[in-house]
Structure 1
Amino acid sequence: MRRATKLDKVRWLILYSTDAILLITLFGYYDLYLRLQMGLPLPVIAVAAVLLLVLIVLGTRPFRIAMRGGSRPTAILAVTGAVNVLLALLGLMWAVPAWLGMLAPFVRRRTAVVVSVATVVAFNLYVWALQGTAVVAVLLVQSLLTAISVGGVLANLWLWRVAREAHEGQEARARLAVSEERLRFARDLNALLGQSLTDISARTEGASRTLAADPAAAAEEMFAVRDLARRSLREVRSVVQSYRAVDLDELLSSVRAVLEAADVRCSVRAETDSLSPETRTLLATVVREGATNVLKHSKAEHCTITIENGVLEMSNDGVSGPVSEHAPNGLAGLAQRVRTAGGTLEAAPTREGRYLLRAAVPA
């Protein structure tokens, strides 16, 4: 199962809050009950209850469509608009703000404001025509419900767009960083091998031309080509080794940021100054693999990382169900590397319900 990201959580929070705004029409059932007590005919109450149910069922759909970037749901808006007209003919207009909230994401903001104000004015004129006097309380309540529905929906839609753009910006920066690193690697290899391969090609061509006339000179030239190729190979290996080296302190900071971004509280206590470069690289690789397993194989809320005297301990909660006695596949290969370096690596659940990754490497 894919772990929910922060963007997923923001999405569901916005959806639920918007649904709650639109479901203010549920209070209409209480109003229907009061009207029944006041003598409104039961058939009218039944029809109004069915219409209100249709409005509630369809009311949450438009905003979800707007969040996905879909086109205006004309059919849904038309049906809910007709339901509101029927409710108004029955003298029940408290559902109109919810319909205005459904319409708001698919029209201009100015249009939404104008339509909302016009609706509130029309509603109060309607009440005045029925009762012969304006009802201030009705005006205030209708205005408040309209502001909550239209303003809340527009604010939530704006918040969703901002959150999505921020998430896409983070992904774009990550892709840019990877691209820049690839370009740097390509430039280094080109600078390292370009001249060497050019020299090898030129000397080989010269040796092929002198081979028939002076085999000894051609052989000497080929020995020089061999030495040049060996030197180039050593340089390539040196560059690759430097790329494989990982800065332990930088990785610990990165892992902590990644875990906390996934809502896993992470505490780090590391003494790394006395560690050799080889040990730092090896422990960094173990930490990276351990963080990957925390995100993929647990529902952790807390993670602790400690490094002291060449001993790494990485512990997390959120272990559910039986856990295999063997380390995950990624750690199995790392265990072999750690043993080759003269250390040990263990990964297993503890009696306290946590999962402990422990790597001991000569400092």
Structure 2
Amino acid sequence: MKAWDRIRNASKLTRVRWLIVYCTDIILIFPMLGYYAFYLNWQQGMPPLAVLGGVVVLLTFNVLSTRPFRIAVQGGRRPTVVLAVTGVLAVALLILFAQIWAIPTWLGLLAPFVRKRVAIVVGFASIVLANLFVWWIGGWIVSLLMLVQTLFTVICLAVVWANLALWRLTTEAHEGEEALARLAVSEERLRFARDLNDLLGQSLADVARRTERAEGALASDRESAAAEMFEVRDLARRSLREVRAVVQNYRAIDLDEVLASVRAVLEAAGVRCTVRADTGALPPETRTLLATVVREGVTNVLKHSRAERCTITIEDGVLEMSNDGVSGPAGEHAPNGLAGLAQRVRAAGGTLEAESTADGRYRLRAAVPA
């Protein structure tokens, strides 16, 4: 169950990494042919102890072969010890048991940690040396084995290089998405800071000038100084109203954009999302409040459920979100999540409810006066 939860809760990038790694494990199929070869050798009279020793060597090689590519996609250091041990085992399988299957696989393990031309040179040398050895012990079958080992070597190197390139492209795309998100946040912060600077810069300069004038007139004309201070008070109040208006506009959220965004996020996480929303007649305050509820609800779906389907409907100021991934008590709201939203909705004259339905779904319902 824990393994299944780990799979369900894994990020999209992690799932792609698992897929690429397991697809690359196809190169481990080639050494598996050695077990059948050992069975044939045993049938033909090879001593059981020799067969058992070969199986142990091959099994050790198989187990160690699962590590290098996983280390490569995780950005780890080159596993020199693992590569050296698997190389020795591959040579032992070739010399002692005339099995060429392990050599191409070992080249695939080496490929992510060396330059391509080095891997090609080593691969060519292994083909020549291995087939010279087989020719020395087997004679005319060398031409067939040369073809087979060349084919296996090309397949192993091509699979590893292609999947490694695919992983690099995936990580670059993921990093690009994160960079765009950070850039969007930074630009929004800069816009807000620029608006505040334009708004408060002149107002604060006027306050400072009038305060200085009032201070100069305080000794000779107290009435004039008092009048200047009243002007300062009115200017401060007007500036405060303007700041509040800017902040209110800054907090405004486009409901349609939020619906499109959360649908894309859910589908990217493997959750089918259906949206039916009639938002054209809603006032700006209601749109902003419902957009906030939608974002919080989707956050809960992604973090606290194992949903596969999610439905979002908005009609006459009533928002309903339901999903099939019920997890934990439905009526308990997080202090900084739905509970805070419930207070905001009630302050606007509406209601917010979260509950598990009879058909095993989780429903979030927010009704705001339209």
Which of the five TM-score ranges fits, normalised by the shorter chain?
over 0.9
Aligned: 1:202 with 2:171: no
Residue aligning to 1:352: 359
Aligned to 1:16: 22
| Amino acid aligned to 2:274 | S
Match status 1:49 vs 2:58 = no
1:127 correspondence with 2:134: yes
- Alignment partner, residue 162 of structure 2: 155
Alignment check: 8 A CA contact 2:312 2:319 kept:
yes
- For 1:326 and 1:106, the matched residues in 2 are separated by 51
Match of 2:257 in 1: 250
Where structure 2 has 5 or more consecutive residues not aligned to the other structure, the ranges are: none
Amino acid at match of 1:6: K
Partner of 1:67: 73
Q: Please say if 1:107 is aligned against 2:114.
A: yes
Q: Deviations over 1:162-212 (max 9, x none)?
A: 111111111111111111111111111000001100110111011111100
Structure 1's unaligned 5+ residue stretches are: none
Q: Which residue of 2 aligns with 1:290?
A: 297
Which consecutive aligned stretches of 4+ in structure 1 deviate over 3 angstroms post-superposition? 134-137, 326-329
Paired with 2:41 and 2:158, the residues of 1 have a C-alpha distance of 29
The answer to whether the 8 A contact 1:327-1:346 is kept is no
Distance 1:209 1:99 in 2: 88
The TM-score, its normalising length taken from structure 2, stands at 0.93
**8 Å contact 1:255–1:291 — kept in the other structure?**
yes
Letter in 2 for 1:104: A
The aligned counterpart of 1:175 is 182
The aligned amino acid for 1:64 is: R
Indicate if the aligned counterparts of 1:316 and 1:354 stay in contact, CA closer than 8 A: yes
**Candidates 37, 42, 47, aligned match of 1:31:** 37
**Further displaced range: 336-345 or 156-165:** 336-345
Letter in 2 for 1:179: S
Question: Which residue of 2 is the match for residue 80 of structure 1?
Answer: 86
RMSD over equivalenced CA pairs, Å: 1.6
Cα drift, residue 136 of structure 1: 4.3
Contact 1:305 1:313 in 2 (8 A): yes
Question: Is the contact between residue 349 and residue 369 of structure 2 (CA under 8 Å) also seen in structure 1?
Answer: yes
Answer with 68-77 or 216-225: which moved more: 68-77
Overall identity of the aligned pairs, in %: 65
Tell me which amino acid in the other structure corresponds to 2:363. Answer: L
Question: What's the counterpart of residue 342 of structure 2?
Answer: 335
* Pairwise CA distance, 1:313: 0.8
Task: Verify the 8 A CA contact 1:203 1:221 in the aligned structure 2.
Answer: yes
Provide the rounded CA distance (Å) in 2 between the counterparts of 1:215 and 1:134.
Answer: 115
Q: Does the 8 A contact of 2:94 with 2:130 survive in 1?
A: no
Q: Secondary structure at the match of 1:133?
A: helix
* Corresponding residue number in structure 1 for 2:273: 266
Whether contact under 8 Å (2:30, 2:101) holds in the other structure is no
TM-score, with length taken from structure 1: 0.95
C-alpha distance in structure 1 between counterparts of 2:140 and 2:60, whole Å: 32
- Give 3-state SS (helix, strand or coil) of 1:132's partner: helix
- AA aligned to 1:197 is L
**One-letter amino acid of the structure 2 residue matched with residue 14 of structure 1:** I
1:234 aligned to which of 238, 241, 259: 241
Give, in angstroms, the shift of residue 102 of structure 1: 1.0
CA pair 324-8 structure 1, distance change in 2 beyond 3 A: same
SS in structure 1 of the partner of residue 140 of structure 2: coil
Distance 1:349 1:25 in 2: 52
1:273-309: CA deviation from partner (whole Å, max 9, x where unpaired): 1111111111111111111111111011111101111
Per-residue Cα deviation, 1:200-238 (whole angstroms, up to 9, x for no partner): 011101111110011111111111111110110010000
How far apart in 1 are the matches of 2:218 and 2:273?
68
